[in-house]
Amino acid sequence: MADLTLIHTAEVHVATFAALAPEADLCHVVRPDWLARAQTGIGADLTAEISAEFKAVTGPVLCTCTTLGPTVEAMGATRVDWPMMQIAAQHAITAQKPVLMAYCLASTAEPSSALLRRAFGERHADITELALPQHWPLFEAGNSTAFCAALAESIAIELAQNDYACVVLAQASMAGTAAILAQQVALPVLASPQIAMQALLAPQILG
């Protein structure tokens, strides 16, 4: 049995997550078609298909797709952004400032926002959403470097204009943006892949 099974909707995530836990035994399920179909809503047919795949897996499961997160969480998986959202909420509560949540896909907005609000518990959830759909074609074209650079530029502009406790990069595909922004801003910039893997596989994470 693998230490962890990861459900991805983009092949690029396999290398990203494998690099975070080189000593772990990881099983990767890659289904880009699920994200494509989920853009117009997750219906009964897609839910049944995901459920069948999930039932074939033994051991813990991490879903790295934000759009599919609520559906797979209901089946027992961990959502890649849940540990990150908990940290973001704590930063906001401590600093008494809002969280800036950046995302590209419209289908990400509602599940990400709802999860972040859940992380605040009974406290007021002060969240500013920053939609950056104009940069998504770069990711779809496989140009991750340009994608993350463009995201960083747009987020930096927002940070220069308003005060936040931290930045949440809502989609796992945006993770590379964190390192770029870390050179430009002092506040925490949170990316879900490393935080989730540390939460689930702490003994296997190196560095």
3-state SS of 128-166?
Answer: EEEECHHHHHHHHCCCHHHHHHHHHHHHHHHHHHCCCCE
Say yes or no: domain 82-192 is CATH 1.20.1250.20: no
What residues does 164 pair with on adjacent strands? none
Joined together, the tokens standing for residue 77 give: 């998986």
Query: What single-letter amino acid sits at 174?
Result: M
pLDDT of residue 204: 58
pLDDT tens digits, 7-42:
999 999 999 999 999 999 999 999 999 999 998 889
pLDDT of residue 207: 40
Which residues, 6 or more positions from 11, have their beta carbon under 8 angstroms from its beta carbon? 30, 32
Domain definitions of the chain by residue range: 4-79+197-204, 82-192
pLDDT tens digits, 61-84:
999 998 898 999 999 999 999 999
pTM score of the predicted model:
0.88
Q: Given the structure tokens 């590209």, which residue do they identify?
A: 104
C-alpha Rg value of the chain to the nearest Å:
16
pLDDT of residue 39: 86
Asked if 162 and 90 touch (Cβ cutoff 8 Å), the reply is no
pLDDT of residue 101: 98
pLDDT of residue 202: 75
d(CA 4, CA 72): 15
